[in-house]
Amino acid sequence: MALSAIAALLIAVGLFTPIASGSAALVSLGSIQYSNEPAMSALTVAILVAVALLGAGAYSVDARLYGRRRLVISSTRDKLS
């Protein structure tokens, strides 16, 4: 329970988001078998995995510490000309 609370605080602040989300996903995955609503726990795991893969966002402590990354996807028209 304490690990989930710490992970939730870290995710909300945006500090060590991939690590916090991954550990919270593992804790939630382990608690599916003890849950009264396993579908809700599975949804929680899916959301935590998505947050771990996507990152913290532009206005987070992680972005402040490590810099924002901007992906630029060019169109196929730019490649042909």
Q: How far apart are CA 8 and CA 33, in angstroms?
A: 21
Is the distance from CB of 51 to CB of 19 less than 8 angstroms? no
Model-level pTM? 0.70
Domain range list for the chain: 2-80
Residue at 42: amino acid letter: A
pLDDT in tens, 26-71: 999 988 888 899 899 899 999 999 988 887 777 778 778 877 777 7
How far, CA to CA in Å, does 10 sit from each of 4, 7, 21, 60, 70?
A: 10, 5, 9, 10, 23
